[in-house]
Amino acid sequence: MDNLMTEKKLQGYVLDLAEALGFLGYHTWDSRRSQPGFPDLTLVKGSRLIFAELKSAKGKPSPEQKEWLAALRGTSAEVYLWRPCDWVDGSVEKVLLGG
């Protein structure tokens, strides 16, 4: 199943769960005029700040995405690269539940 899940479908699942758990979620719908590489999702709940880059099963982060993820990992924010397999195996849910 996870090899067939698109990045868009994964994004919908993650945003739906995050919002059900009380997170505020942000996604730039049209990034053509934005700085390249910024993560797909920004999620906030209380003191938690999560940045998540989403990729299909075979998708690869661009150099700009890798640069942003590395820079954000140097902060106190939580930073993830999630693929459909992370949704299927429960890893995303575990993170969002605080585990």
pLDDT digit string (tens) for 53-93? 999 999 999 999 999 999 999 999 999 999 999 999 999 99
For 53, the 3-state DSSP assignment is strand
Q: What strands, in cross-sheet order, belong to the sheet with 24-26?
A: 24-26, 41-45, 48-54, 78-82
Place of tokens 């640069």: 67
Which pLDDT score is estimated for 98? 92
Answer yes or no: is pLDDT of 94 > 90: yes
- Bridge partners of residue 77, in order along the sequence: none
CATH dotted code for 7-96 = 3.40.1350.10
Domain ranges across the chain: 7-96
Q: What is the pLDDT of residues 1-53, one digit of tens each?
A: 567 899 999 999 999 999 999 999 999 877 677 788 999 999 999 999 999 99
The pLDDT value recorded for residue 8 is: 93
Cα separation, 73 vs 52, in Å, equals 11
With vertex at residue 80, the alpha carbon angle to CA 76 and CA 83, rounded to the nearest 5 degrees, is 175
